[in-house]
């Protein structure tokens, strides 16, 4: 209550007789006259009057001496009075200030934040918390702000008053007057397992009136989950092998005494989880199941099969939730279960190389390809009774001549090794391993049966085990990289000088052996063949000596016409592409041209050159290899012509 104070007024003081006498004696001398003549403005005094004044009991005072009094006495007394008044006034004002200050003191000990609510709640049910902020101080609080940190899985419903629009856990309280209360009613629901303790942490921040600093008052409130209207159970394996089919079973039940409409079960899969199947089938995607009505006491089961990818030693969380769908299809969580799964990866790595390459390489018909298969247990568990199988997919593998020092079991397309052939496969512990080597021959020739476009030898390996530590009952299997060894096409080129063809028909003219002064005509044949890959951009070329005459007689079975460059003395044949099987299932490509020579006497006893070296070039379209075949020069010796062979030395002309 505010009190009225009157200013302090000191009491009036009575003058002493001595001070009165002093007043009477204080007479200005200049105004005293001995005559009776009055003067204007001056009071008239007489000797008689003076005698009356100074008479003492009828006797005149002794005027023979003068007793002089202190002229400053009155000033000193007045000063003392003023000092006394100032002291009294200061004391009065000080008391008034202290009194008012005692009414405005802030101690900080009288700000209370209290929370009222259920200490035991049902998971998924609505609950209400009432927060009261009491200002027991004698001054107002300004800039009040309440922050509530919610526990995990708390679903905010509503509040009165409402929190900030963008933050559902902060309220701007504003000013709280001295002795006043502020209340906030908070509604929502908690979800979790029975027995979970959920902690609400509240902080009230404020600035006392006439202060510049912010103060805080904090309090915690704990709610224990005692039950749930829907019970949920998740059965999950503790350990799962990477990439292995595993089963996760969800069981739910209506624990209330009423039927529940629009129940939703949803699973949250860990990273790397791939669903194989579920029963019943999920209605939305692969992780949501809706139950239109779940009767009181009714239960159900969901089975999910899937695989997990990741690194060995990782923990994966599989989470499942049960809740209700509101009219606006908002999911209201009721209960949640989760399971941590340890991911085990035996990780028996397999590395296969062909000819030293993990990708493979290029081989030709008749080659022997060397393979190396390295296996290492890079996981953290022991793998027992390992079986390793290599598959060789190609129609041109010469199985009868495979070289395998380990003596694995072979069938039509595979080689298999177990602990019977390699003792170390009985138990491969972490960080242990070894290498298996073997060699595979490629057939030396193709037949119409084995001929195919873009032939290759594809090899891969696989390891499996039915007994892995900590993964009993879960089959383990891993695969190696795949090597692809491309088989290069066999591109052949023949260059022949003939007088007779293969059917022994004469294609040349003139004397044989060639004779001085007489013209002999020869035919040059070019033949091309190709096996398994198309050969493109083919060019066949040769150069003619100066003494050889181009006749212009030519023929080609495919490609462009033969071109003779008279200045360069070159003959060229171009073919855009040679298909697969030319020379096997298709006839060889052939070109020919005729040449003539007329020996001179200087040529006697010599074999004449018909064409310089011949060269055929192209590109293997599958292996992308450049092909280049060179044939030696052709002469009148006709080494490839059985009927004319040995008749190439120039003879002298016969005399008629």
Coil, helix or strand at residue 47: helix
288/313: higher pLDDT: 288
Do 187 and 159 form a contact (C-beta atoms < 8 A)?
A: yes
Residue 3: pLDDT over 50: no
- Is the pLDDT at 12 greater than 70, yes or no? no
What is the model's pLDDT at position 88?
Answer: 76
Kindly indicate the confidence band of residue 463, based on its pLDDT and cuts at 50, 70 and 90: very high
Q: Could you give the CA distance from residue 21 to residue 594 in angstroms, rounded to a whole number? A: 176
Percent of the chain with pLDDT over 90: 63
Whether 492-635 and 229-344 are alike in CATH topology: the answer is yes
* SS3 state at 612: coil
| pLDDT (average), residues 274-280 | 93
DSSP secondary structure letters along 537-600: EEEEEEE--TTEEEEEEEEESSSSPPEEETTTTEEEEEEEEE-TTBTTTBPPEEEEEEEEE---
Residue 223 clears pLDDT 90, i.e. is over it: yes
> Please, are residues 474 and 345 in contact by the beta-carbon 8 Å criterion?
no
Is the pLDDT reported for residue 95 higher than 90?
no
Continuous segment of H or E residues that includes residue 195: none
CATH top class, domain 348-462: mainly beta
pLDDT of residue 344: 77
pLDDT digits (tens, 9 = 90+) for 17-76: 444 444 444 434 344 343 443 443 334 444 444 444 444 444 545 545 444 455 555 666
Residue 17: CB atoms within 10 A of its CB come to 7
- Check residue 9 and give its pLDDT: 38
pLDDT of 583 reads 92
> Which residue's entry shows tokens 């934040």?
113
Q: Is the dihedral of CA 17, 22, 23, 27 positive or negative?
A: positive
Contact 379, 345 (CB under 8 A): yes
- At 519 the pLDDT is 97
Q: What is the rounded distance in angstroms from the CA atom of residue 192 to the CA atom of residue 323?
A: 12
Q: Measure the CA–CA gap between 479 and 352, rounded to whole angstroms.
A: 10
Higher local confidence (pLDDT), 51 or 406: 406
How far apart (Å, rounded) are the C-alpha atoms in residues 603 and 514? 10
Instruction: List 190's β-bridge partners, or say none.
Output: 154
Task: Give residue 329's pLDDT band: very low, low, confident or very high (50, 70, 90).
Answer: confident
Q: pLDDT class for 7, splitting at 50, 70, 90?
A: very low
CB-CB contact of 608 with 599 (8 Å): yes
The closest of 346, 314, 307 to 476, measured between CA atoms, is: 346
Q: Where are the domains of the chain?
A: 111-227, 229-344, 348-462, 492-635
Mean pLDDT for 214-229 is: 90
**Average pLDDT, whole number, for the chain?**
85
Peptide bond into 130 cis (omega under 30): no
How far apart (Å, rounded) are the C-alpha atoms in residues 201 and 198? 10
Residue 631 has pLDDT above 80, yes or no: yes
4: confidence class by pLDDT, cuts 50, 70, 90: very low
Residue 222 has pLDDT above 80, yes or no: yes
pLDDT over threshold 60, residue 473: no
At 38 the pLDDT is: 41
* DSSP strands (E only) in 280-411: 288-294, 299-308, 315-325, 331-344, 348-354, 362-363, 368-377, 383-384, 387-393, 409-410
Q: What is the mean pLDDT of residues 314-331?
A: 89
Task: Identify the pLDDT of residue 70.
Answer: 52
Residue range 603-631: average pLDDT? 96
The answer to which of 96-110, 127-141, 606-620 has the lowest mean pLDDT is 96-110
Among 38-42, 321-325, 359-363, 457-461, the minimum mean pLDDT is found in: 38-42
Phi and psi (nearest 5°) for 515? -125, 145
- Using the predicted structure, report yes or no on whether residue 491 has a pLDDT greater than 90: yes
Retrieve residue 305's tokens: 């099969």
Q: Is 223 exposed, middle or buried (0-12, 13-18, 19+ CB in 10 A)?
A: buried
DSSP 97: H
Q: How many CB atoms lie within 10 A of CB 175?
A: 15
Q: Is the pLDDT of residue 333 over 70?
A: yes
- Quickly name the fold that domain 111-227 has: Immunoglobulin-like (2.60.40)
Copy the structure tokens of residue 541. 């070329």
Q: Report how far residue 320's alpha carbon sits from residue 336's, in angstroms, rounded to the nearest whole number.
A: 6
Q: What is the fold, at CATH topology level, of the domain defined by 229-344?
A: Immunoglobulin-like (2.60.40)
For residue 417, give both structure tokens.
Answer: 């090794």
Q: Which helix (H) or strand (E) holds 101?
A: helix 73-103
Look at residue 98 in the predicted model and tell me its pLDDT.
45
What's the pLDDT at 446?
Answer: 86
Are the C-beta atoms of 641 and 499 separated by less than 8 Å? yes
pLDDT at 11 > cutoff 60 = no
- Tell me, what's the pLDDT at 151? 94
Query: Element (H or E) spanning 621, and its range?
Result: none
**Which CATH class name applies to 492-635?**
mainly beta
More confident residue, 587 or 90: 587
Alpha-carbon torsion 572, 577, 583, 587, what sign? negative
């Amino acid at each position: 209550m505010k009190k009225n104070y009157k200013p302090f007024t000191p009491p009036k003081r009575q003058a002493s007789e001595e001070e009165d006498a002093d007043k009477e004696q204080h007479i200005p001398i200049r105004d005293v006259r001995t005559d009776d003549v009055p003067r204007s403005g001056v009071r008239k005094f007489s000797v008689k009057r003076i005698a009356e004044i100074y008479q003492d009991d009828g006797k005149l005072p002794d005027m023979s001496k003068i007793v002089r009094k202190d002229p400053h006495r009155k000033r000193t007394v007045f000063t003392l009075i003023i000092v006394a008044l100032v002291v009294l006034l200061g004391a009065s004002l000080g008391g008034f200030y202290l009194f008012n200050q005692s009414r405005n003191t802030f101690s900080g000990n009288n700000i209370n934040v209290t929370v009222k609510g259920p200490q035991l709640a049902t998971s998924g049910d609505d609950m209400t918390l009432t927060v009261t902020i009491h200002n027991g101080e004698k001054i107002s609080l300004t800039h009040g702000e309440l922050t509530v940190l919610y526990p995990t899985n708390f679903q905010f419903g509503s509040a009165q008053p409402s929190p900030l629009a963008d933050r559902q856990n902060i309220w701007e309280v504003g000013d709280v007057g001295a002795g006043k209360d502020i209340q906030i009613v908070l509604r929502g629901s908690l979800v979790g397992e029975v027995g979970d303790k959920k902690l609400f942490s509240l902080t009230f921040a404020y600035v006392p009136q006439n202060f510049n600093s912010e103060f805080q008052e904090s309090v915690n409130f704990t709610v224990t989950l005692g039950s749930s209207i829907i019970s949920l159970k998740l059965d999950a394996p503790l350990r799962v092998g990477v990439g292995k089919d595993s089963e996760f079973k969800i069981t739910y039940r209506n624990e209330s005494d009423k039927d529940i409409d629009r129940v939703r079960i949803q699973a949250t899969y860990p990273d790397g989880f791939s669903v194989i199947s579920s029963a019943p089938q999920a209605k939305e995607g692969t992780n949501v199941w809706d139950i239109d009505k779940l009767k009181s006491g009714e239960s159900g089961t969901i089975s999910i099969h899937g695989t997990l990818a990741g690194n060995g030693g990782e923990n994966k969380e599989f989470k499942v939730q049960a809740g209700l769908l509101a009219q606006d299809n908002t999911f209201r969580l009721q209960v949640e279960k989760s399971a941590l799964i340890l991911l085990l990866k035996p990780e028996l790595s397999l590395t296969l190389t062909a000819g030293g390459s993990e990708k493979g390489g290029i081989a030709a018909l008749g080659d022997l390809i060397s393979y190396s298969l390295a296996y290492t247990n890079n996981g953290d568990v022991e793998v027992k009774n390992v079986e390793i199988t290599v598959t060789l997919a190609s129609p041109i593998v010469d199985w009868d001549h495979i070289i395998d020092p380990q003596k694995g079991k072979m069938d039509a397309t595979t080689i298999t090794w177990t602990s019977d052939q390699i003792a170390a496969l009985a138990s491969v512990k972490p960080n242990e391993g070894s290498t298996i080597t073997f060699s595979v021959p490629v057939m030396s020739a193709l037949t119409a049966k084995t001929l195919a476009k873009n032939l290759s030898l594809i090899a891969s390996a696989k390891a499996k085990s039915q007994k892995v530590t900590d993964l009993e009952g879960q089959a383990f299997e891993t695969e190696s990289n795949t090597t692809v060894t491309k088989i290069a096409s066999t591109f052949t080129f023949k260059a022949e000088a003939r007088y007779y063809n293969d059917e022994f028909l004469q294609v040349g003219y003139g004397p044989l052996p060639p004779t001085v002064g007489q013209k002999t005509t020869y035919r040059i044949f070019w033949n091309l063949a190709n096996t398994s890959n198309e050969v493109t951009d083919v060019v066949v070329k040769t150069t003619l000596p100066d003494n050889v005459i181009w006749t212009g007689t030519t023929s080609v079975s495919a490609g462009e016409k033969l071109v003779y460059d008279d200045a360069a003395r070159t003959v060229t044949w171009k073919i855009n592409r040679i298909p697969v099987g030319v020379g096997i299932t298709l006839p060889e490509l052939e070109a020919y041209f005729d040449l003539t020579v007329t020996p001179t006497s200087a040529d006697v006893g010599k074999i004449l050159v018909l064409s310089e070296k011949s060269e055929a070039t192209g590109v293997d379209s599958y292996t992308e290899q450049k092909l280049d075949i060179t044939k030696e020069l052709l002469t009148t010796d006709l080494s490839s012509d059985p009927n004319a062979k040995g008749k190439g030395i120039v003879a002298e002309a016969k005399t008629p």
